[in-house]
Structure 1
Amino acid sequence: MSTHAVLELRQYTLRPGQRERLVGLFEREFVESQEALGMRLPGQFRDLDDPDRFVWLRSFQDMTTRAASLAAFYEGPVWRAHREAANATMLDSDDVLLLRPAQAFALEGMARPAAGERAPAGLLTATICPAPPADLAALARSFDAQVRPVLERLGAPVLAQFVTEPARNTFARLPVREGESVFVWFAAFADAGALVHHQAAAALDPIVGA
């Protein structure tokens, strides 16, 4: 399986009460149809703090194939057939960070639940840390060497780490957040209780609690 070097972190603000409608449409129509065009969708998530927010991830081999894959999808028959229904659920879909991996998700061997089957219970957090572009590489190294071991000892398995992809947006039809520089890391928890327990322990740690 080839490496995907570009990730979109997409956060959508939806019309009140429309999230489950979009989730159903997304899972039924938009996952396999995008992956058939060379994209990957590592995950789709309900924001637990906001019932009208939907978050999802989409990755590409590089910026050139990103442009070609997005053009093929958004000019193709699946999006044409369902775009009005999808867009009717949304207030804003432009909150998008374009990222590249410092440590990518390990997806090989993982199977997506079948249609209609619920995904295993769990919770994912995404921590977004602004930093100057010149500091991103050093920040990623420092995080991996000093912070990650502490987080994992305190019950927060780190799944992946990303930094801003500085290349120009190659598909202007879909805006991204430009002029920002961030380090992002993802962690997994069994449930909300495990997250609360981790946060309490982390607050007391001299390295991650500052």
Structure 2
Amino acid sequence: MADAQLLELRLFTVKPGMREEFDRVSREGTVPLMRKIGITVVAHGPSLYDEDTYYLLRAFDDEKQRTELGASLYEQPEWEQYDEPVGAMMAAYSTVVFPMSTEAIKHMAEFGA
């Protein structure tokens, strides 16, 4: 697909009663850190479907960038303060990666972030 990026969708199953705190940590900590190191966070937030799901949409130019920036995130000194608390709030997560036009991603970012 010409003029496409990779869109990564992460779905987090958060332990019961933890979603509000997970959202706060995401908004105030992990998402700003991702953006600081160059990860394009398209949208994130609580699912409208159930009380224990949270989503994160990130865009990357290619798989190499996705892998390198993802690894870089966990090497940041600031990440250390989030690693254990975030892990303790999660029951599970899954990741799906697929191509999408850059224009569609920009439109989603206007709507979702």
Mapping of residues 1-80 of structure 1, within 5 Å: 5-80=5-80
Deviations 1:122-170 (A, max 9, x none): xxxxxxxxxxxxxxxxxxxxxxxxxxxxxxxxxxxxxxxxxxxxxxxxx
Residue segments in structure 1 that go unaligned for 5+ positions in a row:
113-118, 120-210
Cα distance in structure 2, aligned partners of 1:4 and 1:17: 38
Q: Could you tell me how far apart the structure 2 residues matched to 1:20 and 1:91 are?
A: 15
Task: Choose between structure 1 and 2 for higher RCO, CA contacts under 8 A separated by at least 6 residues.
Answer: 2
How far apart in 1 are the matches of 2:71 and 2:98? Answer: 19
> Per the alignment, in what secondary structure is the counterpart of residue 82 of structure 1?
helix
Inter-partner Cα distance in structure 1 for 2:95 and 2:22: 18
Cα displacement (A) at 1:49: 2.2
Secondary structure of the 2:31 match is: helix
Residue identity opposite 1:13 in structure 2 = T
For residue 61 of structure 1, report the CA deviation from its aligned partner.
1.5
3-state SS of paired residue (2:65): helix
Correspondence for 1:86: 86
Structure 1 position 48, deviation (Å): 2.0
Query: Separation in 1 of the partners of 2:66 and 2:48?
Result: 30
- Say whether 1:100 aligns with 2:99: yes
- Structure 2 vs 1, CA of residues 4 and 68 (structure 1 numbering), >3 Å: closer, same or farther? farther
TM-score (normalizing by structure 2): 0.84
Gaps of 5+ in 2: none
- Tell whether the 8 Å contact from 2:30 to 2:82 is kept in structure 1 after alignment: no
Matches within 5 A, 1:173-188: none
* C-alpha separation in 1, matches of 2:58 and 2:88: 21
Distance change (3 Å), C-alpha of 1:4 and 1:83 = farther
Report the structure, 1 or 2, having the larger strand content.
2
Higher helix share goes to which structure?
A: 2
How many correspondences in the alignment? Answer: 110
Give the share of equivalent positions with the same residue, in percent.
27
State whether residues 4 and 60 of structure 1, in contact with CA within 8 Å, keep that contact through their aligned partners in structure 2.
no
The TM-score with structure 1 as length reference comes to 0.47
Q: What is the CA RMSD across the aligned residues, in angstroms?
A: 2.5
- SS of alignment partner, residue 20 of structure 1: helix
Contact 2:7–2:59, Cα closer than 8 Å, also in 1: yes
Q: For residue 66 of structure 2, what is the amino acid of its counterpart?
A: R
Q: Quote the offset at 1:4 in angstroms.
A: 6.6
Contact 2:13 2:92 in 1 (8 A): yes
Task: Tell me which structure has the larger Cα radius of gyration.
Answer: 1
